[in-house]
Amino acid sequence: MTNPVAISYGRFSSIAQGEGRSVERQELAAKKYCEVHGLELTDRYFDEGLSGFHGVNRSKGDLSILLERVQSGAIPQGTYLLIEETSRLTRENALEAISLIQSLVSAGLVIVTLDDGLRYSRENLTTDFHNLLALILRLQRGHDESKVKSMRAKDVWLAKRQQASEGKAPSMRRPFWLDKEGRLNERAEVVREVFRLQTEELKGSQAIARELNARGIPSANGRSKWRAEGISHLLRNEAVIGVFHDLTNDRRLSIYEPAISLSQFNEAQQILTGRRTSRGSTGEWLSALNGIVKCGTCGGYIRWIKTKTGRTGYCRAARADGCSNRKGFSYRASLLFTYVRALDAVLHLKAQSPDEKDQRAELERKLKEADAKIQRWIKLVDELGDDQFDEVAERLKAAKAERTAIEKALLKTNQEDGVFERMMDFLLGDGPDLMDQVIEGDPRASEKLNALFRQIGINPVIQDGSILDGDIRAEVLSWQEIALKSPDKTIGKIFKDPTGEYPIQLGGGYGYNGDL
């Protein structure tokens, strides 16, 4: 008889908490609870630097993914959801917070607050009024605490935003690579090294943190060691390109000296897109396909189960009777297929890549026009009477939305020249050696290959005992031969090729011959 299943959710809203003991404390409490109560902790969800006061963690990050999986049935009824305390899940007002908890317990989850060991389920919240009332009061108390803190900080931030709008570096604590005037200091080299390790060596946040600690490089606060959460925050922080983000007006102002180029920052965001903590891997083994290959029926995650003949991927939800896609597929065959499809994807990306310089110039022109339009509407707000204010305010809002859309488009187009060439050179050059290490079970090699697949944007699915990428599917002919088939023909074959005779080498003693 298997143990009941549990998942954990944690959150911290500031990077200072991430650099401290917040993550370890929340994870340790969840593990200890599972040990005491005989639960199997199968999944971990964690949001870094997302506020629970405005429900940001509900609309983005790991909590939104958890909610989607609950709604789709991928997380089965009876699952225990472990949280340190209610404020980790939400700090919204009691009405919004109880709505969130109701959606979770109605789906059959049992919520456990680890600080006091209380359990909340659909059954005990509907039959025990005092339990429900105590929960509502606790949720409202967490909201009120955050509200008071927010009000105290508001006046301070208004002054800082005014400084930023005047092109001055706000009088506030600077990122560790800037001096008090907003200029680079000697620690800017650390920032550049972090981005180099990520964009050139394709290392994940955990691997980068390990390397910096091994070299003895002081962390951001100079006291504790580097952590994956701190690296992840740094890689996403627009301050490295000189930007101060005015959240109230959704305005990005260039007021700091940039530590890296915009193109390198954009490439880093590409790599980070969709990257999640690997799921389904335990011990020292790590799948290079976690978050890459998913279920073709429900879109859920694949669990790679160790068998006598190797590892086989199955839909997690199907194993809990939440999906009809019950047939599995070989991990090694999936890995080789994904590598070939990644080669094909890079060739097509390179061929279809637009003239970025012209596109960037056009977007920069539109951005200037949008800024000028906003200034005109702001001027009109001061000049027009109250009867026309609402109309002008709506047009000003629309102009700001237009500017935001242009800024996002500009961010996407500002990619470093030669990115596709570098990907192709790696796949055909060092890639096979990396695949050798992945097939041998090296977790760091798997992490690096996983990052590359995410950057390329390849997402095959396992469906009815095969793996597919669009209309291309793999068919295992024997232990040493895999055919790649389109609906009407065979487009290529992966062979066991120990002598390296085939034109494209994939690593692990395999070669590919066919169309790309």
pLDDT one-digit tens code per residue, 48-99? 766 666 677 787 778 888 888 888 888 999 999 999 888 888 888 888 888 8
Residue 16 pLDDT exceeds 50: no
pTM recorded for the entire structure: 0.43
Q: Collapse the DSSP code of 496 into the 3-class scheme (helix H, G, I; strand E, B; otherwise coil) and give the result.
A: strand
Q: Is 133 helix (H, G, I), strand (E, B) or coil?
A: helix
Predicted pLDDT at 270: 73
Residue 467 clears pLDDT 90, i.e. is over it: yes
Average confidence (pLDDT) over 237-252: 73
Length of the chain as a residue count: 516
Cα gap 281→479, rounded to integer Å:
24
For the CA atoms of 88, 93, 95, 101, the dihedral, rounded to the nearest 10 degrees, stands at 0
Residue scoring higher pLDDT (379 or 313): 313
Q: What pLDDT, on the 0 to 100 scale, is given for residue 369? A: 84
* H helix count then E strand count, the chain: 19, 18
Q: Report d(CA 135, CA 125) in Å as an integer.
A: 9
Q: For residue 62, how many other CB atoms are within 10 A of its CB?
A: 20
pLDDT at 78: 93
| pLDDT at residue 386 greater than cutoff 70 | no
pLDDT at residue 154, as a whole number: 53
How large is the average pLDDT for residues 100-104?
91
The residues, ordered by sequence, that sit 6+ positions from 162 with a Cβ below 8 Å of its Cβ are: none
Predicted confidence (pLDDT) per residue in 388-427, tens digit: 556 666 777 777 778 777 876 766 555 444 566 677 878 8
Residue 486's pLDDT band (cuts 50, 70, 90): very high
Position 215 pLDDT exceeds 60? yes
Q: Is 326 within 8 Å of 315 (Cβ atoms)?
A: yes
What was the pLDDT predicted at 74? 84
Supply the pLDDT for residue 43.
86
Q: Cα(416)–Cα(182) distance, rounded to whole angstroms?
A: 25
pLDDT over 50 at 175, yes or no: yes
Query: Mean pLDDT for the chain?
Result: 79
Nearest to 315 by CA among 277, 304, 331, 306: 304
pLDDT at 19 (0 to 100): 42
Q: Are 82 and 4 spatial neighbours (Cβ–Cβ below 8 Å)?
A: no
| pLDDT, tens only, 164-173 | 455 555 555 6
pLDDT at 284 over 70: no
What the block records as the tokens of 347 is 């060739």
Closest residue by Cα to residue 37 from 128, 127, 105, 114:
114
Q: Is the pLDDT of residue 184 over 80?
A: yes
Find, among 114, 118, 36, the residue nearest to 82 by Cα.
114
Report the largest interatomic distance among the alpha carbons of the chain, rounded to a whole angstrom.
82
Q: Which one is predicted more confidently, 32 or 147?
A: 32
Pairwise CA distance, residues 277 & 46, whole Å: 9
Q: Is 504 left (phi over 0), alpha (psi -120 to 50) or beta?
A: beta
